[in-house]
Amino acid sequence: MISHSEKETIQLAERLGKKLRKGDVIILKGDLASGKTTFTKGIGKALNIKEVINSPTFTILKIYEGDLTLFHIDAYRLENNLYDLGIEEYQPEGITVIEWPEYYEKFLPEEYLEISIVQTDEEERDILLIPHGKHYEEIVKEMEC
């Protein structure tokens, strides 16, 4: 999928967020400033979260309350440190979104939705949804319609 603006990225993520259920795990891959936190804002909008969602870079984890709880993890600071955040503890309670999952791969669940965001120019992003598991395959099929 192609997003031509921040607004479109949020709208796409909001559409996805409406399809998510308790226990879902979303991993966001992309360079710095590619739009990972912007995408998370759209998921938060779908969950009716009223707080401002921003990058949890300095705290690793931020928790937002809405229709479902959103656990927003930024694993960037975990680079070269094998630190288990106990993601399995968050899963039953809400939606978990992980930025920089490459620093946390050892602890990811078997099934999750991977979203790759590539900045192609200042505003435009290529957004690729890669399902890992049947539930996420169904979500991606719905998103393609």
Rounded to the nearest angstrom, the gap between the alpha carbon of residue 96 and the centroid of all alpha carbons in its chain is 7
Terminal Cα-to-Cα distance of the chain (whole angstroms): 12
Reported confidence tier of residue 85, pLDDT bands at 50, 70, 90? low
> Hey, what amino acid is at 48?
N
What percent of the chain clears pLDDT 90, i.e. is strictly above it? Answer: 63
What percent of the chain clears pLDDT 70, i.e. is strictly above it? Answer: 87
Q: What is the pLDDT of residue 107?
A: 78
Q: Which H helix or E strand runs over 62? A: strand 61-64
- 106-126: b (≥16 Cβ within 10 Å) or e: ebbeeebbbbebeeeeeeebe
Kindly report the CATH class assigned to 2-122.
alpha beta
Kindly tell me if the per-residue pLDDT of 131 is higher than 60. Answer: yes
Q: What is the pLDDT of residue 101?
A: 85
Residue-wise pLDDT for 70-82, tens only, equals 999 887 766 655 5
Residue-wise pLDDT for 27-60, tens only, equals 999 988 788 999 999 999 999 999 999 876 677 8
Is this model's pTM higher than 0.85 or not? yes
Kindly tell me if the per-residue pLDDT of 8 is higher than 80. Answer: yes
Pairing of strands 61-64, 69-74: antiparallel
Q: What is the pLDDT of residue 10?
A: 96
